[in-house]
Copies of this chain bind each other. A is one copy, B any other.
Amino acid sequence: MANPNKMKIALLGGTGHLGIGLAIRFAILGHEVIVGSRRLEKAQMKAEEYNNILKSLGEKARIKGLANEDAASEAEISIFTIPWEHAFSTAEFLKEALKEKIVVSPLVPMEKRGNAFYYTKLPEGSAAERLASILESRVVSAYHTIPAEKFARFNESFEWDVAVCGDDERAKKIVIELTNQIDGLRAYDAGPLAVSSMIESITPLLINIMVRNKLKDLGVRFV
């Protein structure tokens, strides 16, 4: 059984704000964090950037960069911090490396029509289910509603809830425990992977509420 106090976690893509926010916080918590990218040089550049953030926070530099395939092979948990349009082709490519491992989907398929954002329903029901249909992995759906820009700043506090779903109960439990280790996040089991569209679709809703009410960095709490 994996020890949720020290895990090898890969941020695939790892370039967006969610990737930064998770990488830095998991590294500070003592996990082994790997940033993956399509090209090794880009991954190493990213790792250096993240290590500079760690140093600026008075922490030891300890994040390494690897090509996505090597990052996925080495990690116990791989988080798909990749724009959803590119996530599925990346998944095809990483299928062998991710076999039977825990894969986290924060993917939210959405589109803008007129002046509103809409959740894009996929034939599989959700992005997480599509990922699961491609991979032979233990897919857990999480982190969709975290306001990523604020999450990538490290001098601000927040209190956000994270709805987590998945069909592999042990994998889901590990992701919930990891999430609860992060100050200000509180994770809840929301059921099987098939409920993922109900979580993913909160993200375009939050964006619409922010745009129309001139608000920023809205997350969600269940109270």
**Interface residue from B117, B119, B195, B201 paired with A208 (Cβ < 8 Å):** B195
* A116 and B192 contact, CB distance less than 8 A: yes
* A189 and B209 contact, CB distance less than 8 A: yes
Of the candidate stretches A5-13, A84-92, A212-220, the one touching chain B is A212-220
- CA separation between A34 and B50, bound complex, in Å? 61
Nearest chain-B residue to A218 (Cβ)? B222
* A198 and B204 contact, CB distance less than 8 A: yes
* Given known A-B contacts A198-B205, A201-B201, A219 and B219 have beta carbons under 8 A apart: no
**Interface residue from B117, B199, B213, B223 paired with A220 (Cβ < 8 Å):** B223
The interface residues of chain B lying within 8 Å CB-to-CB of A153 are: none
Minimum CB–CB distance from A46 to chain B (whole Å) comes to 30
Which residues of A, 170-223, contact B by the 8 Å Cβ criterion?
Answer: 188-192, 194-195, 197-199, 201-202, 204-206, 208-209, 212-213, 215, 218-223
* Given known A-B contacts A118-B195, A198-B119, A202-B202, A223 and B212 have beta carbons under 8 A apart: no
* A212 and B198 contact, CB distance less than 8 A: no
* Given known A-B contacts A189-B213, A201-B201, A209-B189, A160 and B194 have beta carbons under 8 A apart: no
From DSSP, what is the main secondary structure of chain A's interface residues? mixed
- CA separation between A206 and B223, bound complex, in Å? 10
- CA separation between A191 and B141, bound complex, in Å? 26
User: Interface residue count for A (Cβ, 8 Å)?
Assistant: 37
- CA separation between A68 and B178, bound complex, in Å? 52
* A212 and B197 contact, CB distance less than 8 A: no
- CA separation between A221 and B202, bound complex, in Å? 12
* A222 and B219 contact, CB distance less than 8 A: yes
**Interface residue from B163, B189, B190, B208 paired with A190 (Cβ < 8 Å):** B208
Which residues of A, 69-119, contact B by the 8 Å Cβ criterion?
Answer: 114-119
- CA separation between A174 and B194, bound complex, in Å? 36
- CA separation between A202 and B119, bound complex, in Å? 13
Whether A159 sits at the interface, judged by CB under 8 Å, is yes
* A208 and B220 contact, CB distance less than 8 A: no
